[in-house]
Structure 1
Amino acid sequence: MNHASDATAARKPVRRVVIAGGGTAGWMAAAALSRTLGKVLDITLVESDAIGTVGVGEATIPTLVTFHRLLNINEQAFMAATHATIKLGIAFENWRDVGKDYIHSFGLTGKDHWTAGFQHFWLKGRERGLARDYGDYCMELRAAQERKFAHLPDNGINYAFHLDATQYAQFLRRFSEEFGVQREEGRIAEVRMADNGDIAALAMEDGRLIEGDLFIDCTGFRALLIGQALGVPYEDWSHWLFADSALAVQTESVRDAIPYTRSIAGDAGWQWRIPLQHRCGNGIVFASRYTDEATAHDTLMGSIEGAPRTEPRLIRFKPGQRARAWERNCVALGLSSGFLEPLESTNIHLIQRGITRLLQSFPHVIEQVDIDEYNQQVANEITHIRDFVILHYKVTDRRDTPFWRDCAAMDIPDTLRHRIELFAETGRVFRVPNELFAENSWIQVMLGQGIVPRQRHPAPDMMGDEELQHFLEGIRRHVEHTVQRLPTHMDYIRSYCAMQRVASD
């Protein structure tokens, strides 16, 4: 549907921004908008203390480090407030097959040549018996295995965080209110519409009317504005992504936190384990077509370490995306705009990217051309991420349960099929501009899931055995030397966060 004529007729300056819903999405939006445009906008966030948030987005990717730097957020203060630990990647256990594990780490592996990626030199070395494991040439991966971390000069190590999502929202609330964001507590009773079809105001249960020029829907799966009021349909991706349910529970820590997320494949889905400074986040993602809630509950509770701090909480979801993330004068962020299971920890990233795109195209007056461009970019990015998640299920040797047999047999998007076939035949990976996951991510997961390229680039043939071994071993030794000098992950975190506490006293 095109509302260009209506939008033009109703054009007026955007001065009042209303964020419907808090949680991670709402307060990330409030923080970014107030920090960058707070002096020229009136920003109000509406949330109810009586409505809980999903709050399981506790593992992130390195783009959050960039987000914090752009907003000039003190990292030590953030980590102390959210009990955060470092994340260097994700360990995928039992995904290729039962008993076969690998790590998808952040950062780069080896050194590329302008004609060919490092994987081609590694493949040549493996043919000649000269190469070690592919991960031995990646510093972030080896640091994760050794459970070590430290900040390095010139941003020399790529990292993200494990964090307490509830504490993160509270941290961002304090940050946002310092830049003028007004918080209105209460439940939304009705979304009031203008004559031209835009959203005019939020009517609260106590009679208040909160008017705005631009509304941001952070109301979660309910999608009160974008879905219920504006009627933007939802595209269902459950024919590719079978999981539709999750159970989440928090437990006491029983050992030092490791610097990576654990993703453990099971009979009809997978489990996560996310270690924080003070506790551990646990959950199971499962497909209700293949197992039931009681079985998933028993599987989860039978595998946790440490005493439970909470009762397991059930979350139902439908994988997919809203047909349009921006409709008329409403932008949807977070769960209201779509949902991909947290397999690659991309949900906070998608919130962040939606905010960044909105800021980069923030309207003086709302124009349909801006809306169309925003929606196209959102659709492109989530499609690429969707394909990356599907890859984990499709390319597997597991055939031990009906779930995995159906995953292996399912038809997949043409975009993903091309990537798989290209790598399987040639060892090459292409990356779409501005795509989240770089070549090394695709290579690590495709190798980890068991794809061995049938060909490789001829460039490594220019090197003799001695030269190739010197090249590979030089990289490996540099990685190993750097990692061995790092402190243990938790020793570093204790010191790093303690410095913030001392500065605050």
Structure 2
Amino acid sequence: MLAKTLGTEIFNITLVESEEIGTVGVGEATIPPIQLFNEILGINEDEFVRETNATFKLGIHFLDWRKPGVRYFHPFGQYGVDMDGIGFNAFWLRMAQMGGDGDYGRFNAETLAAGQNRFGRTQKSLTSILPDINYAFQFDASQYAAFLRRYSEARGVKRIEGKIATVTQHPENGFIKSVQTEDGRIIEGDFFLDCSGFRGLLIEQTLKSGYEDWSAWLPCNRAVAVPCEKAPGPIAPYTRATAREAGWQWRIPLQHRTGNGYVFCNEFIGEDEACDNLLACLDGKPLKDPKVLSFVTGHRKKIWNKNVLALGLASGFLEPLESTSIHLVQTCLTRFLAMMPKRDIDDATVDAYNQIVLAEYVNIKDFLIAHYNVTEREDTPFWKYCKHMSIPDSLKARLDIFARQGNANVRPTELFKESSWFAVLLGQGLVPRDYHPVADVISEADLKRRLDKIRANITERVKGLPTHNDFIARYCASRTS
């Protein structure tokens, strides 16, 4: 992004990294804003999918979260179409209270397509009342990193192989002056991006930025990950998240294999037992030994501090339940580019940046907590804790408003919109008591006619999509799949 936006004629961009520091690389799921990131970089989507063994993602399939045996889908697209100046959700709630179709997923193209293993790119049409199919990607994280490395080096980014041993600060202001590798090379810089993972080499070990711990609300602190052989049959165009006794399990289908992981709290289950439980639930033969990662959910108190910007795990960690990790890297970087100083770094700009970024962290945090807290489960100690734990006032207020008439009170700048809160909160069992009064303006007959038309149009649109496998085979099949 830096090389594409700033160029490397005026700006010298140097990456210091070590091949000895491994990555998880078992499969990574994303959310739709990654399409904009790819467009800014000028990446051909079919080439990107092919080079990363990627598949397409229409949303997340949640199993056993509300209670064992209950499932729901969180789609990327909206439900129905807005009418008379208010959201479709109000009209559906009125119809449901009248005894009509209670399956709100039938009014969403992504949900229907996912259920039929279909996928396709849609084009905006003046004759269609429906929005385009909204999607993201599931890919091999290691191959994605290699793909972007080739892209960056071709545009002038210099890469230095090595581990950083020491950091030097300017004595007068504490800014980072240079880093030195284990073999003695010194790399000076005006600005530093800390991508050193949880250790936070610059942002924490050197600048002591502090850490805001959110584990009381998001208690999972371990993840065991392992790839396995892909299952025979259709490749699902979605990520699956299955609630387990002390956390949840992810399943991310790629073209050549499947990524799996168990996110859990070690206060409720041991690491060995978590590994065994994950291995027992795989769709195919494991391709590597399970790898356990430890983390503390939260964020640095200053993500931009002096002349250091922390990205990725160095900035904080919000567990991968809603696939926001890569998004936060990209959005933190694009926001920095928008606020990047030409010369001197002033406190007002740094403070404004941190306020904006941390507001997004808080919004995502509340959305994640809702998955755990809004539940009927009390069948294990972990789920009993989650159901009865205290929650942030910001989330409590949102849940109270939603319970009244289905409004999630979403601000325009927030990542997760009304449709996302609607899908998850209803899926978790929080059904609003009422709906917006404008939905009562039209007659029952007109309401039924409108909703029948919307549902028929969505059903017809999905019918016209190819299967997910056929789409990949036609446009972007990997050579290794």
- The reply to whether residue 206 of structure 1 matches residue 183 of structure 2 is yes
- Per the TM alignment, residue 40 of structure 1 is displaced from its structure 2 partner at its CA by 2.4
SS at the partner of 2:337? helix
Runs of 4+ in 1 over 6 A off after TM superposition: none
User: More helix by proportion, 1 or 2?
Assistant: 1
Deviations 1:328-361 (A, max 9, x none): 0000000000001100000001001101101111
Distance 2:102 2:395 in 1: 29
Residue matched to 1:65: 35
Where structure 2 has 5 or more consecutive residues not aligned to the other structure, the ranges are 125-130
**Alignment partner of 2:428 out of 428, 439, 449:** 449
Residue matched to 2:2: 33
- The reply to whether residue 404 of structure 1 matches residue 374 of structure 2 is no
Deviations 1:460-487 (A, max 9, x none): 2222222111111111011100101110
Q: 1:383 is matched by which residue type in structure 2?
A: V
Deviations 1:80-105 (A, max 9, x none): 11000000000110000000000000
SS at the partner of 1:243? coil
**Alignment partner of 1:190 out of 140, 149, 166:** 166
- Per the TM alignment, residue 71 of structure 1 is displaced from its structure 2 partner at its CA by 1.2
- Per the TM alignment, residue 56 of structure 1 is displaced from its structure 2 partner at its CA by 5.2
Deviations 1:118-145 (A, max 9, x none): 1111111112223341111011111111
Residue matched to 2:442: 463
- The reply to whether residue 439 of structure 1 matches residue 439 of structure 2 is no
Change (3 A) 1:114 1:233: farther
Distance 1:386 1:367 in 2: 29
SS at the partner of 1:454? coil
Residue matched to 2:252: 274
- The reply to whether residue 167 of structure 1 matches residue 143 of structure 2 is yes
Residue matched to 1:22: none
SS at the partner of 1:42? coil
Give the conservation status (yes or no) of the 8 Å contact 1:57–1:347. Answer: no
Distance 2:417 2:97 in 1: 25
- The reply to whether residue 148 of structure 1 matches residue 144 of structure 2 is no
Q: 1:125 is matched by which residue type in structure 2?
A: M
Q: 1:144 is matched by which residue type in structure 2?
A: A
Distance 1:62 1:90 in 2: 12
SS at the partner of 2:204? helix
Q: 1:65 is matched by which residue type in structure 2?
A: Q
**Alignment partner of 1:111 out of 35, 56, 81:** 81
Q: 1:210 is matched by which residue type in structure 2?
A: I
Aligned positions, number: 469
Q: What does 1:336-375 align with in structure 2 at a 5 Å threshold?
A: 336-365=314-343, 366-375=345-354
Give the conservation status (yes or no) of the 8 Å contact 1:95–1:396. Answer: yes
- Per the TM alignment, residue 57 of structure 1 is displaced from its structure 2 partner at its CA by 6.2
Q: 2:323 is matched by which residue type in structure 1?
A: S
Aligned Cα root-mean-square deviation (Å) = 1.2
Give the conservation status (yes or no) of the 8 Å contact 1:57–1:345. Answer: no
Q: What does 1:18-97 align with in structure 2 at a 5 Å threshold?
A: 32-38=1-7, 39-55=9-25, 58-97=28-67
- The reply to whether residue 120 of structure 1 matches residue 90 of structure 2 is yes
- Per the TM alignment, residue 434 of structure 1 is displaced from its structure 2 partner at its CA by 1.3
Where structure 1 has 5 or more consecutive residues not aligned to the other structure, the ranges are 1-31
Give the conservation status (yes or no) of the 8 Å contact 1:396–1:450. Answer: yes
Q: 2:74 is matched by which residue type in structure 1?
A: H
Change (3 A) 1:142 1:420: same
- The reply to whether residue 258 of structure 1 matches residue 236 of structure 2 is yes
**Alignment partner of 1:487 out of 453, 463, 466:** 466
- The reply to whether residue 139 of structure 1 matches residue 109 of structure 2 is yes
State the TM-score, normalizing by the size of structure 2.
0.96
State the TM-score, normalizing by the size of structure 1.
0.91
Give the conservation status (yes or no) of the 8 Å contact 1:131–1:472. Answer: no
Give the conservation status (yes or no) of the 8 Å contact 2:26–2:260. Answer: no
Residue matched to 1:299: 277
- The reply to whether residue 180 of structure 1 matches residue 156 of structure 2 is yes
